[in-house]
Structure 1
Amino acid sequence: DSDIPFLILRTSFENSFYYFNRFKLSISDLKFIPFKSNPHQIKIALIANSFEDMRLGTRLIRDFNLLKQNQAEVFIIPVGYDWNLTEEEALFYRKFIAEHFDLLISLGGDDVHPSLYDQPNINSKNVNYDRDLSEFNLIKYFKAHSQGVFFGICRGHQLSAVVDGYQLVQDLGEIHSSCLTKHQKNIDNKPEYLFHEILIKPSLLSRLLGFKDKIEKVVSVNSYHHQAVKNNNLSQKICCVAFDTEHDIIEALITNEGKSISVQFHPELPEEMNKNAEFTEFGYKFIRRVISYSRLNRFRNKKQTPAINTNSPQEFVLSKLKANGS
């Protein structure tokens, strides 16, 4: 764990980060990060969103190692990366992430502060406005300016949807008590309560999940949430590609011409948490395909083949995945 790099700008409040003094940078230093030159090794920025992450907690180490196994160079963006930065420094930081990283990942965690989607707090828990605003601003900038891919999981899926203008259901019990039971981890950790079925439309997501035929699929996924994205059909540019059809809950979104992917379920969780070896392998393969997709997207952006100028990012990458038999 001593090799886990946190990507931080030096400030006059540097001591507030004393317990993970691993990778401190000034603005001038940030331009010269020694990225490796391996063309197959993409750069991933993983957003920490809890103070347990900052102390190198179990989750952060687990997710860091999972990503690193897939020919990726992984950096951690700390909680409140911009809290002690000037507006100019914060903008520089976001710009640097957008320009130099192939994949930005936003993880699961606490509820998103409802003020970010212009609602009062009714049933949101453990919210932190400053933390959520920092992550919101980074995701918004990355999706608007980066050629890389954004990937959101659970809270990351919800926060990305808020960036795109969606509101959240603050507690699934608002829909129906059975909905909350179906989606939230059971207090006794009984396996039968950990999974529910979702409908996946033929899409980039279905391809990344390993489905090659262009028909709808019903898949059983894990569930650890009590909030969800409201299905308010904002724009044709925002594609809802997976649903819990029983309660009309959005389980996955594709935006930015296929460069933003988010899912409500947790593909990154290990078998001891899922208690389901088949789904764990399914989730790991999904993550590997997302990383491969990001790698191919980078090659397209660098115009390494003549054909890429005629295809959208999604069309190009899907054609490569098909050629590789993924």
Structure 2
Amino acid sequence: MSSAARLSVVIVTRERPYAPEYHAYSSLLVGRAVAAATRAGWQVDVVAAQDEGRHETLRRTDDSGALVILGGEDIAPEFYGAARGYRGEGAHAERADEAQIALVHRAVRRGTPLLGVCRGHQIIDVALGGTLLQDLGEGSTHRHDDVPIERVMSDHAVHVDARSRLFEGLGAVAQTRSAHHQAVDRLGDGLVVAARASDGLIEGIEHVTAPVLGVQWHPEDPGAPRGQLAALLGTLAVPVALAA
């Protein structure tokens, strides 16, 4: 298998017996991401970071031409210097946190193209020393609370920086589907804002030199605009640096 054509899709886990409805929906999103990447010509390998652990996750992805880190559980607060006990806190997956953070470090060091989606977007920030807003509070427009999992997604626009890599594929305003109760707060080293929601929340980030970027929303959701996921997968190439 050619490493140039191999894409590793890195998820949290293959099993969530404690949350079967959430896991079923998460698996649907993973399947859609894999199908889109396959249509784009990638040879796709799915790696479950919590199940594999840091060493095996790094080994499994060592010769990948590009990486996608998808959504999942909240990142454990210890990784960004915060405390537990916040509103909306659920199960954590510390082995996945550690493994995915290590993937970001290596991608930046090597210049491996990496796209982070939702949790993956936040992992990029935390890996590079950034912090998170731990909960957006009741009434947030970024997700629907207390509804069946298939209705959790919220539709809203994001405004894309014209200098960013996202701009070419998405344009100045992108319609998005999101389901997050946390958000990037302080940016990690080497990161700049590529997109914001109307309320000012950071929705897209990019590294200024490495081909690493993240989006807070879910382009792989069935209700996402047609072609949006393909456009984002198309960013997995060497970037033009975005000025801070």
Higher RCO (CA < 8 A, seq sep 6+): 2
What per-residue deviation string (whole Å, max 9, x for no partner) do you get for residues 85-111 of structure 1? 8xxxx2x8637734x222111001111
Task: Identify the match of residue 135 of structure 2 among 151, 165, 171.
Answer: 171
Q: Which structure has the larger Rg over C-alpha atoms?
A: 1
Correspondence for 1:218 = 173
Correspondence for 1:148 = 112
Offset of residue 140 of structure 1: 1.9
Correspondence for 1:287 = 232
Mapped partners of 2:188, 2:14: distance in 1: 34
Mapped partners of 2:78, 2:210: distance in 1: 28
Is the CA contact (8 Å cut-off) linking 1:140 and 1:163 kept in structure 2? yes
Mapped partners of 1:238, 1:206: distance in 2: 16
Task: Identify the match of residue 195 of structure 1 among 141, 147, 155.
Answer: 155
Could you say what the CA RMSD is over the residues aligned between the two structures, in angstroms? 3.1
Correspondence for 1:206 = 167
Q: Which structure has greater strand proportion?
A: 2
Is the CA contact (8 Å cut-off) linking 2:115 and 2:212 kept in structure 1? yes
What per-residue deviation string (whole Å, max 9, x for no partner) do you get for residues 7-40 of structure 1? xxxxxxxxxxxxxxxxxxxxxxxxxxxx149xxx
How has the CA–CA distance of structure 1 residues 163 and 108 changed in structure 2, closer, same or farther, with 3 Å as cutoff?
same
Is the CA contact (8 Å cut-off) linking 1:112 and 1:127 kept in structure 2? yes
Offset of residue 58 of structure 1: 3.6
Mapped partners of 1:93, 1:62: distance in 2: 22
1:111 maps to 2:71:
no
Mapped partners of 1:125, 1:241: distance in 2: 28
Q: List gaps (5 residues or longer) in structure 2.
A: 17-22
Correspondence for 1:102 = 65
Mapped partners of 2:210, 2:169: distance in 1: 11
Q: Which structure has greater helix proportion?
A: 1
Is the CA contact (8 Å cut-off) linking 1:200 and 1:218 kept in structure 2? yes
Instruction: Tell me the amino acid that sits aligned with residue 134 of structure 1.
Output: A
Mapped partners of 2:152, 2:68: distance in 1: 29
How has the CA–CA distance of structure 1 residues 135 and 282 changed in structure 2, closer, same or farther, with 3 Å as cutoff?
same
How has the CA–CA distance of structure 1 residues 189 and 73 changed in structure 2, closer, same or farther, with 3 Å as cutoff?
closer
Offset of residue 80 of structure 1: 3.3
Alignment length, in residue pairs?
A: 230
Task: Identify the match of residue 70 of structure 1 among 15, 40, 43.
Answer: 40
Is the CA contact (8 Å cut-off) linking 2:48 and 2:57 kept in structure 1? no
Correspondence for 2:19 = none
Mapped partners of 1:314, 1:60: distance in 2: 29
Offset of residue 170 of structure 1: 1.1
Mapped partners of 1:165, 1:249: distance in 2: 18
Is the CA contact (8 Å cut-off) linking 1:254 and 1:262 kept in structure 2? yes
Q: List gaps (5 residues or longer) in structure 1.
A: 1-34, 212-216, 298-312, 316-326
Offset of residue 126 of structure 1: 1.5
Is the CA contact (8 Å cut-off) linking 2:72 and 2:119 kept in structure 1? yes
Correspondence for 2:215 = 263
Correspondence for 2:203 = 251
Mapped partners of 1:191, 1:206: distance in 2: 28
How has the CA–CA distance of structure 1 residues 167 and 60 changed in structure 2, closer, same or farther, with 3 Å as cutoff?
same
Identity across matched positions, percent: 21
Task: Identify the match of residue 183 of structure 1 among 120, 123, 142.
Answer: 142
Q: What is the TM-score normalised by the length of structure 1?
A: 0.62
Correspondence for 1:239 = 192
Mapped partners of 1:169, 1:139: distance in 2: 20
Mapped partners of 2:151, 2:74: distance in 1: 24
Offset of residue 78 of structure 1: 2.4
